[in-house]
Amino acid sequence: MVERTKMRNRKTCLELVPVSVYQLYMLKKQAI
């Protein structure tokens, strides 16, 4: 049960990271 939750959290992190990177990229693009 704990392992399943850990995997789910890891998957969520992997999904969230690209989004934050994309947002930073868009902010830089607007700034330039």
Q: At 12, list the tokens.
A: 């969520």
Say what the pLDDT of residue 25 is.
Answer: 92
Flag whether pLDDT at 32 surpasses 70.
no
pLDDT tens digit sequence for 1-30? 577 777 777 777 677 788 888 999 999 988
**Which string of DSSP letters, residue by residue, matches 1-32?**
-HHHHHHHHHHHHHHHHHHHHHHHHHHHHHH-
Alpha carbon distance 6, 17 (integer Å) = 17
Say what the pLDDT of residue 1 is.
Answer: 58
**How many CB atoms are located within 10 Å of the residue 20 CB?**
9
Say what the pLDDT of residue 5 is.
Answer: 79
